[in-house]
């Protein structure tokens, strides 16, 4: 069964899935879709046939097509259970999903490229205003996430002492935080967990700059 991933080097949702594929030791064909070139290759009919929402990433697994990064991550966990990237008990799994959503729904959608473009077209936001907007929601989200992690959930990683799906959401968001110049001093648990992740090749190999389509 061959896996293919529609990806863009700097898409943080694609970055999550690349981490999971690497942690599972799964080989995949990278199919780059450039979000800026050609007016956005994701907006072309060719890609819309793959993703009606014109969004990255999309996973192709034989004749199964899965869109939405967090759905893809759970799909990979179900179809390739080892190594496990979620705990087995419902309570632990709920905690991991809570941490995933704290990034995936509370932070990431607000700093999305299409949202920043809309701030510009609707409200005349300039580059500085767009960056301040991105920082605002990362800080807001990290305030909550730091508390959720520091309540005893985190071990070396976001949940316990093995890397998992929550880490795969956190690391790309941390990358964006650095990119936008967010002060990370108030988030010692987040910084410590990210450092543990970055020591692993699975995370480093998934980084934007390590992708074949990076400039």
Stretch that binds its own copies, among 1-9, 16-24, 121-129, 192-200 (CB under 8 A): 121-129
Residue from 5, 72, 154, 169 touching its own copies (CB under 8 A): that is: 72
Residue of 184, 103, 183 lying closest to 144 (CA atoms): 103
Main-chain dihedrals φ then ψ at residue 91, nearest 5 degrees: -65, -45
Give Cβ neighbours of residue 128 (< 8 Å, ≥ 6 apart).
none
**Taking CB under 8 A as the criterion, which residues in 155-194 touch its own copies?**
none
Measured distance CA(73)–CA(85) in Å, rounded = 9
Choice between 93 and 204, CB closer to its own copies: 93
Q: What mask, x for binding its own copies by CB under 8 A, covers residues 77 to 116?
A: -xx----------xx-xxx-xx-xxx-xxx-xxx---xx-
Measured distance CA(172)–CA(53) in Å, rounded = 21
CB 76, min distance to its own copies, A: 9
Stretch that binds its own copies, among 32-40, 60-68, 169-177, 193-201 (CB under 8 A): 60-68
**Under 8 Å between Cβ of 193 and 154:** yes
Choice between 33 and 100, CB closer to its own copies: 100
3-state secondary structure of 7: strand
Q: Which parts of this chain interact with its own copies (CB under 8 A)?
A: 52-55, 64, 66-72, 74-75, 78-79, 90-91, 93-95, 97-98, 100-102, 104-106, 108-110, 114-115, 118-119, 122-125, 129, 132-133, 136, 140-141, 143-145, 147-148, 151
């Amino acid at each position: 069964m061959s896996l293919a991933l529609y990806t863009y080097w700097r898409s943080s949702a694609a970055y999550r899935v690349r981490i999971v594929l690497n942690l599972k030791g799964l080989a995949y064909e990278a199919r780059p879709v450039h979000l800026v070139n050609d007016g956005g290759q994701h907006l072309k009919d060719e890609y819309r046939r793959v993703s009606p929402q014109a969004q990255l990433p999309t996973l192709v697994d034989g004749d199964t097509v899965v869109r939405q990064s967090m759905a893809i991550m759970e799909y990979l966990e179900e179809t390739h259970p080892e190594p496990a990237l979620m705990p087995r008990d419902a309570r632990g799994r709920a905690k991991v999903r809570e941490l995933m959503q704290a990034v995936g729904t509370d932070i990431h959608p607000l700093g999305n490229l299409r949202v920043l473009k809309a701030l510009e077209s609707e409200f005349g936001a300039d580059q500085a205003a767009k960056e301040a907007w991105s920082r605002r929601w990362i800080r807001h989200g990290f305030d909550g996430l730091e508390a959720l992690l520091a309540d005893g959930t985190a071990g070396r990683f976001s949940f316990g002492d093995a890397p998992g799906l929550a880490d795969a959401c956190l690391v790309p968001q941390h990358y964006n935080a650095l990119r936008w110049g967010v002060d990370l001093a108030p988030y010692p648990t987040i910084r410590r967990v990210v450092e543990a992740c970055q020591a692993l090749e699975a995370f480093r190999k998934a980084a934007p700059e390590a992708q074949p389509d990076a400039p």
